[in-house]
């Protein structure tokens, strides 16, 4: 049984996978507008609702639950947005618009993963690619931070990031890796065509093999004394620069 918590994450779950929700647990005494909207949605979906003390909900999950916890059956194999590498490559082959892919090379903090997914959804990314090992997964924490994006953005776990990137290159996708030592600024890069933005792990950045397979390395022009940004912040900046450029071509 999974525990999905937080108002946005539970709302997305009820809208997209209501059949998997066994119970919606709501904090006793919470009756604000957001909770009322969730309760109405749960009733419309035929989901059982139970009121519990805050202490009980605190014991169920480690994060800030905002007064709601959904008990749901795991459906990893059934979720339409969980892709295999073959699904990603098929999408690139068949899509009518230029590919726009985010690759996270070893982002291990679930908060950062959730924030990256949220930005990816807002920027219109086709899919988010992560390695199966040494990477955060779609945990309850990541789902909560993603505010519903974890249920809709195609999420691709691959065995070998470098091999997947090579397969994308063979299909005409240009690979742009973010690296502090790059000579080219993000704002000088042409991000209007089929691209994959590759972001490295917190602190260490991209692994050597990942960096070597990239077509271009780009950096954020930093004006202050801080030498780097949190990976989720940097990802948001990169994604929306690409989004800005791509909108200018439509």
Binding residue ranges for S-adenosyl-L-methionine: 200, 220, 229
* Cα distances (Å, whole numbers) of residue 194 to 23, 91, 97, 175: 43, 12, 8, 9
For 164, the enclosing helix (H) or strand (E) is helix 161-170
* Cα distances (Å, whole numbers) of residue 135 to 77, 170, 211, 218: 19, 25, 17, 23
**153 contact partners, CB below 8 Å, separation of at least 6:** 81, 117, 120, 121, 125, 127, 128, 146
Binding residues: 200, 220, 229
Give CA–CA dist 43/47, Å, rounded.
6
Region for residue 134 given its phi and psi (left: phi exceeds 0; alpha: psi -120 to 50; beta: otherwise):
left
What's the distance, CA 108 to chain centroid?
A: 12
Pairing relation of β-strands 68-72 and 127-131? Answer: unpaired
Closest CA to 111 of 142, 86, 84: 142
Degrees (nearest 5) of the Cα angle 226, 231, 233?
Answer: 75
* Cα distances (Å, whole numbers) of residue 236 to 12, 136, 145, 232: 21, 18, 14, 6
């Amino acid at each position: 049984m999974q525990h999905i918590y937080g108002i946005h994450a539970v709302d997305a779950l009820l809208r997209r996978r209501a059949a998997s929700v066994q119970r919606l647990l709501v904090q006793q005494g919470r009756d604000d507008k957001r909770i009322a909207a969730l309760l109405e949605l749960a009733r419309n979906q035929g989901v059982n609702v139970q009121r519990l003390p805050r202490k009980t909900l605190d014991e169920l999950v480690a994060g800030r639950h905002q007064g709601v916890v959904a008990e749901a059956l795991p459906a990893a194999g059934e979720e339409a947005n969980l892709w295999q590498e073959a699904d990603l490559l098929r999408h690139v082959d068949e899509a009518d618009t230029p590919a726009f892919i985010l690759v996270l090379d070893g982002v291990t903090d679930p908060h950062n993963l959730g924030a990256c997914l949220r930005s990816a959804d807002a920027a219109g990314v086709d899919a988010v690619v992560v390695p199966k090992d040494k990477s955060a997964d779609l945990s309850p924490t990541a789902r909560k931070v993603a505010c519903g994006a974890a249920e809709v953005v195609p999420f691709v776990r691959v065995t070998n990031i470098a091999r997947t990137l090579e397969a994308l290159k063979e299909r005409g996708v240009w690979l742009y890796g973010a690296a502090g030592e790059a000579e080219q600024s993000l704002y000088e890069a042409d991000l209007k065509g089929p691209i994959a933005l590759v972001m490295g792990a917190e602190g260490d950045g991209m692994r050597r093999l990942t960096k070597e397979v990239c077509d271009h390395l780009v950096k954020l022009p930093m004006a202050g004394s801080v030498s780097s940004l949190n990976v989720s912040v940097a990802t948001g900046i990169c994604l929306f620069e690409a989004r800005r450029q791509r909108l200018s071509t439509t």
